[in-house]
Amino acid sequence: MPAGPSPASRGEFSSRLGFVFAATGSAVGLGNIWGFPTNAASNGGAAFLLVYLVLAFCLAYPALMAELIIGRHSRSNIVSALGSLPATSGGRRFGAAAGTVAVITSSAILGFYALVAGWVLSHLGAESARLAGWQTSASWLSQGSIARDLGCALVFSLLTVAVVSGGVKAGIERWSERIMPALVILLMVLIGYVLLQPGASAGLRLYLVPDLSRALHPQLILSALGQAFFSLSLGVGTMLIYGSYLPRTVNLPTTGALVTLVDVAIAFLAGLLILPAMFVAQQQGVEIHRDGLLIAGPDLIFQVLPALFAAMGSAGSLLGLAFFALLTMAALTSSISMLEVPTAWLAESTPLSRRGAAWLAGTVIFILTAAIVLWFDPLFGWVVRAATEVSEPLMGIVLCLFAGWAIHRDTLLAELRRGDWMVENTWFWKIWPPYVRFVCPLLIAAVFVNSLR
């Protein structure tokens, strides 16, 4: 029997569309708008895009389905879900331990994500201050300092807690529904503007003409897989908990495919913005290469692009404002989904209310963020790597194995039938069950082991 309390007491998305907004909001984040384009630029342009598309649909989508199905079937947070599915007590103990690792990973990701989102917020503030003519505030906000980093990360964390403590429908769904359409419109406007500027076509060429000699390079495949998993928010229990709030009648395979498609499409569109913008910046005299490679990472977002905005006068300030607003919105709909993982776990396994759980989890995570700000050099890279390169792929394997082996085939079929009574005749049902049992875990493991060499 499914574990956990009744849907009424734990919240539910109001419709399939509400879920799609929330899940794509989680998926579309800094990973898409910043990570994907720079990864593509440093890995052979369209060759990376090609490999990414294959991996997103062949590996990440089946893993996403594993999380959604476990979530909707068990109707509970990841610790209780994995801790109740196996038939043996050893299996259940292992499941609860793995679920706890996922809660810690999600919290750790939010720990560094809030800092990066704080940088984004500070640049949003700086561009607004510049437009208002407040030069002193603008330069304080655009120059890194411990006070600025702590302050902006705190504001971002408070926003995240405020949305999550509002609940599934009134918090997560309502804000995702508002933010996601605005994000898409802003992205389109920015792409349109940047593509009309001199220099943009060189960036387009780099992005869209594949360097096929690089397509099968192990490093490229590895980066593409990591990118696909991070981008679809996999391996930390986010999609599992969102799946647990899905109405029973929603068709899972098509809804999951829609989320994957939107995520990939927005990453692709972000490439149409970022790479041309870099070459427009070059035309304006901004340095976009370092040691012979395109500048990626934080320097791209917080130095190259602001230099471009500054060189473009008042149009540039507006452009900067729109760009950092876009990044803030993308980051917020992702961070709420990260905080939902520990919040749901606390609310469902302790006497705390949802509000209390969100504040407690948010406070503990902010302490981690503050530690990362204070001891940046030793901590930042380590937390990012441990969470995204080790824990996420390993948990991805565990979740596929649980969906494939710990849920009986008839139960899986019954779960999928609720949304599509003909599901037995679909390709999905013919391919996915054996695929998630054997192929998916083995492929993720192969790529993971390869990355350790």
Residues that bind ligand PHE (CB under 6 A): 26-27, 29-32, 109, 230-231, 233, 236, 238, 334, 337-338
Angle, alpha carbons 176-52-186 (nearest 5°): 35
Whole-number minimum distance, CB 446 to ligand PHE, in Å?
A: 22
Q: How far is the CB of 33 from ligand PHE (least distance, A)?
A: 8
Q: At its nearest, how many Å lie between ligand PHE and the CB of residue 203? A: 22
Nearer to ligand PHE, 67 or 420 (CB): 67
Nearer to ligand PHE, 236 or 372 (CB): 236
Token digits of residue 93: 């103990």
Least distance CB 107 / ligand PHE (angstroms): 11
Polymer length in residues for the chain: 453
Which tokens belong to 130? 């510049």
Two structure tokens written together for 231: 């981008």
* Nearest approach, Cβ of residue 388 and ligand PHE (Å): 8
Which helix (DSSP H) or strand (DSSP E) does residue 290 occupy? strand 289-290
Coil, strand or helix at 117? helix
- Between residues 84 and 105, which has the closer beta carbon with respect to ligand PHE? 105
Shortest approach of ligand PHE to residue 26 CB, angstroms? 5
In eight-state DSSP terms, residue 33 is I
Q: Which residues lie below 8 Å from residue 154, measured CB to CB, with a gap of 6+?
A: 118, 366
Minimal CA–CA distance to 434: which of 398, 410, 409?
Answer: 409
What number of CA atoms fall less than 13 Å from residue 364's CA on the CB side?
15
Least distance (Å) between residue 373 CB and ligand PHE: 20
Taking the least distance from each CB to ligand PHE, the nearer of 31 and 99 is 31
Contacts of 448 (CB under 8 A, 6+ apart): 393, 394, 397
Identity of the residue, 30 or 55, whose beta carbon is nearer to ligand PHE in the bound complex: 30
Nearer to ligand PHE, 74 or 333 (CB): 333
Which H or E element spans position 294?
strand 293-294
**E runs forming strands in 130-264:** none
Give 31 or 316: the residue with its C-beta nearer to ligand PHE: 31
Residue 289's SS3 state is strand
Please check whether residue 106 is in contact with residue 238, taking contact to mean a CB–CB distance below 8 angstroms: yes
User: Smaller CB distance to ligand PHE: residue 45 or 237?
Assistant: 237
Rounded least distance, CB 387 to ligand PHE, Å? 9
- Residue that is written with structure tokens 């909001």 in the block: 25
β-bridge mates for residue 289, sequence order: 294
d(CA 396, CA 67): 9
Nearer to ligand PHE, 51 or 232 (CB): 232
Q: Are 21 and 248 in contact (CB under 8 A)?
A: no
Q: In whole angstroms, give the CA distance from residue 250 to residue 145.
A: 47
H/E element, 101: helix 89-132
Residue (35 or 441) nearer to ligand PHE, CB: 35
